[in-house]
A and B are shown apart, each in its own frame.
Chain A
């Protein structure tokens, strides 16, 4: 049981992957593929671009494994740092922050709603949430996505964003307060 836990420890997996263990990297890939995809999706708001960028992130991480240093560094933070830089590079290349149409975004999201009414309600709620997130400042969007979409601990968010944990907490408070107001205005809460 303990050995199994050790085998799933991202830090150990990262070290194994660094020494050329393809299976360990496969396990990391399974662990972080969805969080990385979600983070990128909420940053670029386009599923096709998200697909490309997610692939880019994993290839980048794989190629940079020999350069990964430190037992102290969280592999999740490392993956998100690469993701963040990839998104920034993508924006630089596009020279614009894409404000996608939530309608088209939603259509690409798989949904398991049973009835057309449920589907319509979910669609509306999702659109409203996306609109609300987009009304936040860029830094607020990032902190909200990392905290509530990716469930990252404040310690990792602070490292990733180059801020103190206290600064991250304050950012989260302000972002959540703004979001609460926006959702309230949209009568979602």
Chain B
């Protein structure tokens, strides 16, 4: 019974809404439901209250203007006080004003990954070239007039004699014009000659010793002995 009543009310509401949508006046709709005028009256009153309440909600003119201004400031170059301070603040220090620093900064920040390795490689290459150019050439010692070393012959028993010869260096002393210096130079030359003679005598002794050893070996062997 209750369900039937509910269904009936729903049907009346549906029809009423249809009539409202089709543009019928409340009076016309009211006349269309002679048996359910009470229900229709309630529905129409509810709709009327809602519409009345809706119409009482009106935005303020201030909001209308504010919204319009916001939209306008979004699309035009009109003056907007919100951003005005940015133009006024000129005295504030900025990196952009210091051009050189910013340029260096840009260079360092943008290209350092390229320039830093290139720089390191260049420095290393220069160091290597420099070491080859200047590091191997030692400065020559000035001539002091010392006598050159005479080759030393080391004689050890049971081992061949090794002669360690030093490279011959022609040592010439510049003439001073002094007689004593000249005499000293001649005496030094004589001593050099004497050393050479001594070496020759030692060599001769060695040769003789070798000959003696060969002869001794010949005597120790008798082919007729066997």
Task: List chain A positions with a Cβ less than 8 A from chain B.
Answer: 22, 25-26, 29, 33-34, 37-38, 41-42, 50-51, 54-55, 58-59, 62-63, 109-111, 122, 125-126, 129-130, 133, 144-145, 148-151, 153-154, 169, 172-174, 176-177, 179-180, 183-184, 188-189
Number of A-B contacts (CB under 8 A): 111
B residues 49-70 in Cβ contact with A at 8 Å: 49-51, 53-54, 56-60, 63-64, 66-68, 70
Give the residues in chain A near B66, CB-CB below 8 Å: 55
- In the complex, besides A51-B60, A153-B21, A183-B49, 18 extra interface pairs with C-beta distance below 8 angstroms are A22-B72, A33-B64, A33-B67, A38-B57, A55-B66, A55-B67, A58-B70, A59-B70, A129-B50, A129-B53, A144-B50, A148-B47, A149-B54, A174-B10, A176-B13, A177-B6, A180-B13, A189-B41
A176-B12 Cα distance, complex, nearest whole Å: 11
Give the residues in chain A near B14, CB-CB below 8 Å: 169, 173
CB of B194 closer than 8 Å to a CB of A: no
The answer on a CB contact under 8 Å between B59 and A34 is: yes
Q: Which listed residue, B43, B58, B75, touches A176 by the CB 8 Å rule?
A: B43
The smallest beta-carbon distance between A111 and chain B, in angstroms, is 7
B35-46 vs A: 1/0 string, CB under 8 Å?
000000111011
Q: Which listed residue, A22, A51, A145, A180, touches B43 by the CB 8 Å rule?
A: A180
The answer on a CB contact under 8 Å between B10 and A109 is: no
* Smallest CB-CB A-B distances: 9 pairs: A149-B54, A148-B50, A37-B59, A189-B45, A55-B67, A129-B53, A38-B57, A173-B13, A189-B42
Residue of A nearest to B16 (CB): A176
The smallest beta-carbon distance between B105 and chain A, in angstroms, is 37
Give the residues in chain A near B41, CB-CB below 8 Å: 189
The smallest beta-carbon distance between B99 and chain A, in angstroms, is 38
Residue of B nearest to A38 (CB): B57
The smallest beta-carbon distance between A80 and chain B, in angstroms, is 14
The answer on a CB contact under 8 Å between A109 and B43 is: no
The smallest beta-carbon distance between B155 and chain A, in angstroms, is 109
Residue of A nearest to B45 (CB): A189
